Amino acid sequence: MREAVAAVVDHHAGQFMSIASALGLGGRKVRYAIVGLGDIAQEALMPGVAHTGNSEMTALVSGDPEKLAALGDRYDIAARYSYEQLPELLRSGTIDAIYLATPNWRHAEFAIPALETGIHVLCEKPLDVSAEKARAIIAAAERGRAKLMTAYRLHFEPATLDAIRRIRAGELGELIAFTACFTQMVDPANHRASNGIEAGPLFDMGAYPINAIRYLFGAEPIEVVSAVGTRHAAAGLGDFDDTIAVTLRLPDDRLAQFTVSYYANNVDTLTIAGTKGSITMNPAFGFGQGLEHYRQIGEKRSHETYKATDQFGGELRYFSDCILEDRAPEPGGEEGLADLLVIEAIVAALQSGGTAPVEPLARSRRIDPDAQEQTLRGISPPQPVNAAPPTGA
């Protein structure tokens, strides 16, 4: 019994979590409907639900009957709905929350009615494709008194949180600059290739470096200094920029740059530099493997590889704990809105060819590393059903 109680404390993170989720025993579980059965839901979220200890899948929603049948059988889920049947599901009394993983531009369509019904929502990023829609989603959560969390899985990932701790402890000195490169070769057959800028690299991948800029600096960008997009005919993609490079200005004349692309070999790295040192993370944003630090403090260099964790299971466990214990989640809807304000300013700069201000947003919360760190073991992705990753590989 003593060992079981001790397991309630994840001493790697120094955090407390609910007894039910820590032990995987007893207690109520949050009942989820998985809305959108694409690659990310199938590969990353669904396989890890069982080992959260406080969550279970009780319904599936998709426009693909083959997915509903195959995945319903795989996970023994009898409740299977089309998108058009979502209102029926929301009234059924069989779910407490939804995990929303449809294409970005359909998030508000499904999140708002769920939240207004009192159903909690874990929504993939970006929260939607405009600040206006993000605000509508947040307002729906307030009306329905439901919890809304934007699915920023790195807010619970050990290497990311260790970087934040080191920065807050002053190891890097005064922060000066940030740079990131996040790229992949997107298959022209993927839906991202044919749905315009809102499915392009800025909205799909840009949220990662933008969010990292904000959580590492602990501040909000105030201006888009420059934004340049290019299109490569050989990429075979749609009518949008397949590669975008951005420079942001933060308070106290700090600068942050990033490049995202659908037409470059896989790159996944960031560097944050201060007056005393720097941290390079490579990989920085991915899942399925341990993230790594390359640190230089003064002249001293070090390297650390962090254990691979189930990032999606960890964020789900955290959100379920928030529901069960009636706590406001971080990252909430405000976090999703903040990134969309930056994205909208980048779009304005791309269109004008000049600078663009970022609409100010007063933040009420930031990451609490010790309270949020999750260390669920990694999982092996199953064979997908009618779904493929962006690269098509």
Tell me the per-residue pLDDT of 28-54, one tens digit each, with 9 for 90 and over: 999 999 999 999 999 999 999 999 999
- Can you tell me the distance from the alpha carbon of 134 to that of 104, in angstroms, rounded to the nearest whole number? 11
Tell me the per-residue pLDDT of 79-98, one tens digit each, with 9 for 90 and over: 999 999 999 999 999 999 99
- Can you tell me the distance from the alpha carbon of 225 to that of 248, in angstroms, rounded to the nearest whole number? 5
Same domain, 16 and 106: yes
Same domain, 199 and 251: yes
Classify residue 88: in a domain, yes or no. Answer: yes
pLDDT over 70 percentage in the chain:
93
pLDDT above 60 (res 219) = yes
pLDDT above 50 (res 383) = yes
Res 10: pLDDT: 39
Tell me the per-residue pLDDT of 133-158, one tens digit each, with 9 for 90 and over: 999 999 999 999 999 999 999 999 99
Res 279: pLDDT: 99
Same domain, 102 and 202: no
Full domain range(s) for residue 185: 158-307
Classify residue 370: in a domain, yes or no. Answer: no
Same domain, 146 and 12: yes
Same domain, 105 and 172: no
Residue 216: which CATH number?
3.30.360.10
Burial readout 14-47 (b: 16 or more C-beta within 10 A, e: otherwise): ebebbbbbbbeeeeebbbbbbbbbbbbbbbbbbb
Classify residue 349: in a domain, yes or no. Answer: no
The domain boundary, picked from 276, 298, 329, lies at 329
Helices 207-217, 333-352: axis angle to 10 degrees equals: 120
Q: Are 304 and 339 in contact (CB under 8 A)?
A: no
Helix (H) / strand (E) containing 223: strand 223-230
